[in-house]
Amino acid sequence: MIDPQRARDELGPLVTGALSDDDILDRYARVVWNSLTEPGDAAAGILTGSLGAFEALGRVRRGDISDSILEPGEARAAMQRWEPRMRPGTVSGVVRTARVARLRLVTPADEAWPDAVDDLGVHAPLALWVRGDPRSIAAACAGVAIVGARAATSYGEHVAGELAAELTAVGIPIVSGAAFGIDAAAHRATLAGGGRTIALMAGGLERAYPQAHTDLVERIAATGAVVGEVAPGSAPTKWRFLQRNRLIAALSAATVVVEAGWRSGSLNTAHHASALGRPVGAVPGPVTSAASAGCHRLLRELQATCVTTAAEVRELIGWGELIGAGDGESAMRTTDATRVRDALSARVARTSQEIARRSGLGIADVQSHLGILHLSGAVTADAGGWRLA
């Protein structure tokens, strides 16, 4: 069995707060699970969701998972996947790498955990590794993912940069994957505008991928966050890139594909977003451009929304200006942002907890929307709480 003090000593600066023995053991167990599994492992999600990470790990070590929680065939297949990785010292190596890279471990028990990724169900991550400010991840849940081709054209990079810059100007976080092309254009425009951007990586966070983006990743971590699901020291693989895409989709309020080839990985992100019920936007391009063929495919096959401006992207997440017939004031689409506004009053200050109760949303979601409303001038805050401006 794992000793709580040993777990506390090993994890050290990777976790924060006064943690009970149960809390520290849960976090240590999640690091072990992180080393045993590939992203999105449903069997691991079922076991940890039913038993807790620590108890589930004990069952696996005893080879005792063939009960009603998993089907016998599923249990055997899972053990066959995990057993080759059950090596002494694995966690110590992961922790050493994480410490050197100054990473932080974030689990579902932490305030910084982005509840939006829980929409992935049994395929949700068991833990996340973060470079930068972990609180930036929760803010990303009200942001927009801008993704697209690595081999982007000048047109695509220009549009991605314009969209990111204009969204950043009104306080909307930008999420992407730090790849060449569209991803990099979106990140750089956000940083240039002084905004917050979050990069989701497919490999361990101790080194940037691609390596040419080492400086870009450092800048993202300095003002926002670089986030990964796989254990530090893990190499990015094709499977991990595809699984990383589900996190980009889950973490964002909407996904916009700026340029994409017919079989682009960005289409994978868009399909994940659609499956999660998140809005998907696609930027049209010349019908003769292979770089835009994937966007046109999304418009035709996925019924993605055609977007050409930042205002149209804002509409995807409920922040578009819909002019009324009478007073010309902007109104919001019926989204979670609308529910937060509906829970506010222009006369009476209300706390985040009261707004959450009135809106039926979680505290983290409420705070994310309040932050964006505050940046746009739609609400004010004082010692008593929040009011509509």
* pLDDT digits 0-9 by tens, 62-96: 877 766 688 878 888 888 899 888 887 788 899 99
CATH number at 368 reads 1.10.10.10
262 and 338 share a domain?
no
- The per-residue pLDDT for 332 is 36
The mean predicted confidence, pLDDT, of the chain is 89
54 and 177 share a domain?
no
* Residue 324 binned pLDDT confidence (cut-offs 50, 70, 90): very low
188 and 170 share a domain?
yes
* Residue 356 binned pLDDT confidence (cut-offs 50, 70, 90): confident
Render pLDDT for 171-201 as a digit per residue (tens, 0 to 9).
899 999 999 999 999 999 999 999 999 999 9
342 and 308 share a domain?
no
And the tokens for 91? 């966690």
Render pLDDT for 4-38 as a digit per residue (tens, 0 to 9).
888 888 888 899 777 898 999 999 999 999 999 99
Q: Can you tell me the mean pLDDT for 114-123? A: 94
- The per-residue pLDDT for 320 is 61
- The per-residue pLDDT for 335 is 67
Q: Coil, helix or strand for 256?
A: strand
Q: Is residue 225 part of a domain?
A: yes
And the tokens for 336? 């979670």
- In DSSP notation, 97-119 reads HHHHTT-EEE-TTSTT--GGGGG
- The per-residue pLDDT for 249 is 96
180 and 242 share a domain?
yes
* Residue 362 binned pLDDT confidence (cut-offs 50, 70, 90): confident
Place of tokens 């966007």: 295
231 and 268 share a domain?
yes
Alpha helices in 224-290 (DSSP H): 238-251, 265-275
255 and 294 share a domain?
yes
* One-letter amino acid of 207: R
The model scores a pTM over 0.85:
no
377 and 262 share a domain?
no
DSSP-assigned beta bridge partners for residue 305: 281
207 and 300 share a domain?
yes
Domain boundary among 316, 345, 360: 316
Let me know if 353 is exposed, middle or buried by CB neighbors in 10 A (0-12, 13-18, 19+).
Answer: exposed
∠ CA(333), CA(335), CA(341), 5° rounding? 85
Look at residue 262 and tell me whether its pLDDT is greater than 80: yes
86 and 134 share a domain?
no
257 Cβ contact list (under 8 Å, min separation 6): 147, 148, 264, 266, 267, 269, 270, 280, 281, 282, 283, 294, 295, 298, 304
Residue ranges making up the domain that contains 370 = 322-388
∠ CA(212), CA(215), CA(217), 5° rounding? 95
223 and 302 share a domain?
yes
Place of tokens 């985040």: 352
Let me know if 122 is exposed, middle or buried by CB neighbors in 10 A (0-12, 13-18, 19+).
Answer: middle
CA 388 – CA 345 distance, rounded (Å): 6
- The per-residue pLDDT for 323 is 33
CATH number at 255 reads 3.40.50.450
18 and 33 share a domain?
yes
Look at residue 139 and tell me whether its pLDDT is greater than 70: yes
- The per-residue pLDDT for 327 is 35
* Residue 1 binned pLDDT confidence (cut-offs 50, 70, 90): low
Q: Is residue 120 part of a domain?
A: no
Q: Can you tell me the mean pLDDT for 261-279? A: 94
Look at residue 330 and tell me whether its pLDDT is greater than 70: no
Q: List the one residue out of 3, 1, 34 whose CA is nearest residue 124.
A: 34
Render pLDDT for 52-69 as a digit per residue (tens, 0 to 9).
999 999 888 887 776 668
∠ CA(336), CA(197), CA(239), 5° rounding? 90
Q: Is residue 105 part of a domain?
A: no
